[in-house]
Structure 1
Amino acid sequence: MSQTNILLESGTNELEIIEFYIEETLPGGGVYRGYYGMNVAKVLEIIRRPTVTGVPSKHHPAALGTFNLRGRVLPLVDLGGWLGKQVAASDALKVIVSEFSGMVTAFLVSGVTRIHRLSWSQVEAPDMHMQTYSGQSVIGVVRFEDRIVFLLDMEKIVASMNPRADIGATLAAVEPVVTQGEQWHVLIADDSSAIRNMIGSTLEKAGFRVTRTSSGREAWDVLVDWRKRSEEERKHIYDYVDLVVSDIEMPEMDGHNLTRRIKEDQVLQKLPVVLFSSLITDALRHKGAAVGADDQISKPDLPGLTERVRGLIERFRQEASAA
């Protein structure tokens, strides 16, 4: 399988996942096949296992080394090893080359099955037990008739091995602000509790008031409630919220669908929307533009997020005053 070309219309709340498997050698000698998935939008291509060059030193046992792909040196991660599994030996191992968080990373897996087109409403958020059991590495669960596919938090996996991809490492770069006068209110939608709280803490440190939600669906319900209150109390929507920051990949309702709903609503369309996601790349930026996102920022740039949020609120406020 080469470069993925399957296209989805932006804002329809659909996604495509590539399903792959990891074969684990069990203590009794048998082999167990576990099924996993990741967003096709992150996949550049799938190749056979290449010749790998070891690195002088490595800080994580799942870091296998590097390989040359058409003149580009890429890191190779043993995904099964990262998940704590004893991967069964095979001559048919596959490598998924992916791009997100501004980096290209390759993952070694046992094999690839197929691509599924789904609605985000079919993706179940993992419960607390699943999160604890999986070490917070699962972001969604998809049930098929004969198996369950776990959607992995690829950003967390990469960040655990590369500090440059860790959103928490950028917190110190945000300067605290002493708030004077009105405190602007930002609504956050992100299914990762850790990232949601880091974004919230960063914006609060920068002088904003923050409301946190765990999905696009929850954020939409909050916005609809604020819209109703603004109409009943005959106030501007800015009296309730000034801006929305949303991830893209979320169970139930994704960030593109949330943005599209906001921009199609006669009242809520006055709100600026910022998409803050590891999926913000040159190749995928058009998807956010198609649904009306006012800005798109790639994780983990938290300092850039605060600066651009402030600039957008100021611009939208000025335009509203001049209207």
Structure 2
Amino acid sequence: MSQEILLETGTNEFEILEFFITTKQCQQKLTQKSFFGINVAKVVEVIENPGLEITYDNVNPCFMGVIPLRGAILPVLDLSKWLKLDREKTKNEIIIVTEFSKQTAGFLVSGVVEIHRLDWTQVESPDKLVASYNDNCIVGIVQIEDKIIQLLDLEYMISDLTGIQMEPKTDIFVSETKFRAAIADDSKLIREMLRTSLREANFEVTEFTNGLDCWNHLNQMAIDIQHDSISKNTCYDIVITDIEMPQMDGFTLTKQIKKHAFLKNLPVLLYSSIITEELYHKGQSVGADEQMSKPDLHKVPHIAAELIKQKSRINN
């Protein structure tokens, strides 16, 4: 499937694959469809379910088994089980094959609908609409005509199912100088990981759940500093941001920072579960100082400190 999620870097656009899970209505013979979306860049292909069934002796009820696919073994997970939905078994069920964070997995769903090109400003906070789900699994909602599409945090699902939180620490880095970092990510899990590792490394951390909130804060901070309303010491030493976020993505946030007269020298570290060669070039085009994939987030404190030192030497 196409990896071209942005026609032009920094346009704040992305694409989702819309799919649905057919569920049973309580004490009724009726069914209903719940609609979800995932970033197209994480989708490798869509295949028909070859006949996998839930086996109730599995340690994890979400795990359906494995299937051979192009010379490899693909683990398949029942997405409805993780979302605690009572899926109605239907004909022509689909497995969405995904690849992100250096992991490949298949997700069983009832069917796929179509691909939508969207602007991140169309993505809203899930709030009460997804109160019945785990509060980490839905990162945003999009309304298309009269339909609500819920955007899934697949990284959280994989972490939740496997128990993997972050790569093990072989040696703990602690900065001699206390630095200030602004981090932007819509995933509560990733923010918690970054907050913990950065604070252990002697960073003061301010968190934002999307790129727009981060940008508004940075822009206002720049205005206040220039008007002597606040001290220059309150300025951040680095911005660490995800690429995929509601309201404003990481590419657009980086582009805004790098074209700002006061903020342009602020180092920006971009990360994502989908750092392909194409996305790496897009990050370079908007001025990102460094880019990395989410499985390498344990390296963030050391890399961030080195970026800050490099920028300081250049600016001085």
TM-score normalised by structure 2 residue count: 0.90
Shift of 1:38: 0.6
Report the Cα distance in structure 2 between the residues aligned to 1:161 and 1:192, rounded to whole angstroms: 16
Contact 2:49/2:93 (CA < 8 Å) preserved in 1? yes
1:102-113 residue pairs with structure 2 within 5 A?
102-113=102-113
Which residue in 1 is equivalent to 2:72? 72
Which residue in 1 is equivalent to 2:239? 244
1:16 equivalent to 2:15? Answer yes
1:207 equivalent to 2:207? Answer no
Identity %: 38
Which residue in 1 is equivalent to 2:156? 156
Which residue in 1 is equivalent to 2:218? 223
Report the Cα distance in structure 2 between the residues aligned to 1:204 and 1:174, rounded to whole angstroms: 15
- Match for residue 281 of structure 2 among 278, 282, 286: 286
Q: Encode CA deviations 1:107-147: one digit per residue, 9 max, x unaligned.
A: 111111011111111100122x3454211211111112221
Which residue in 2 is equivalent to 1:4? 2
- Match for residue 307 of structure 1 among 293, 302, 306: 302
Change in CA separation of 1:97 and 1:111 when aligned onto 2, cut-off 3 Å = same
Shift of 1:72: 1.2
SS of corresponding position for 2:295: coil
2:305 is matched by which residue type in structure 1?
A: R
TM-score normalised by structure 1 residue count: 0.88
Which residue in 2 is equivalent to 1:42? 42
Point out where structure 2 has 5 or more consecutive residues left out of the alignment: none
1:190 equivalent to 2:185? Answer yes
Change in CA separation of 1:237 and 1:296 when aligned onto 2, cut-off 3 Å = farther
Report the Cα distance in structure 1 between the residues aligned to 2:17 and 2:151, rounded to whole angstroms: 10
- Match for residue 172 of structure 2 among 168, 172, 175: 175
Which runs of at least 4 in structure 1 moved beyond 6 Å after TM superposition? 234-238
Contact 1:174/1:202 (CA < 8 Å) preserved in 2? no
Which residue in 1 is equivalent to 2:24? 25
Contact 1:263/1:291 (CA < 8 Å) preserved in 2? yes
Report the Cα distance in structure 2 between the residues aligned to 1:132 and 1:69, rounded to whole angstroms: 36
Report the Cα distance in structure 2 between the residues aligned to 1:111 and 1:19, rounded to whole angstroms: 9
Change in CA separation of 1:134 and 1:315 when aligned onto 2, cut-off 3 Å = same
Report the Cα distance in structure 1 between the residues aligned to 2:104 and 2:233, rounded to whole angstroms: 39
Report the Cα distance in structure 1 between the residues aligned to 2:3 and 2:42, rounded to whole angstroms: 12
Report the Cα distance in structure 1 between the residues aligned to 2:244 and 2:3, rounded to whole angstroms: 19
Shift of 1:234: 11
Which residue in 1 is equivalent to 2:313? 318
Point out where structure 1 has 5 or more consecutive residues left out of the alignment: none
Change in CA separation of 1:114 and 1:63 when aligned onto 2, cut-off 3 Å = same
SS of corresponding position for 1:17: strand
Report the Cα distance in structure 2 between the residues aligned to 1:115 and 1:25, rounded to whole angstroms: 26
Change in CA separation of 1:53 and 1:150 when aligned onto 2, cut-off 3 Å = closer
1:256 equivalent to 2:262? Answer no
2:310 is matched by which residue type in structure 1?
A: R
Change in CA separation of 1:317 and 1:5 when aligned onto 2, cut-off 3 Å = closer
Change in CA separation of 1:312 and 1:146 when aligned onto 2, cut-off 3 Å = same
Change in CA separation of 1:174 and 1:239 when aligned onto 2, cut-off 3 Å = farther
- Match for residue 271 of structure 1 among 238, 257, 266: 266
Report the Cα distance in structure 2 between the residues aligned to 1:6 and 1:300, rounded to whole angstroms: 22
SS of corresponding position for 1:112: strand
Q: What is the RMSD computed on CA atoms of the aligned residues?
A: 2.6
Contact 1:10/1:256 (CA < 8 Å) preserved in 2? yes
1:4 is matched by which residue type in structure 2?
A: S
SS of corresponding position for 1:217: helix
Report the Cα distance in structure 1 between the residues aligned to 2:306 and 2:187, rounded to whole angstroms: 26
Contact 2:14/2:39 (CA < 8 Å) preserved in 1? yes
SS of corresponding position for 1:151: strand
Which residue in 2 is equivalent to 1:61? 61
Shift of 1:14: 0.8
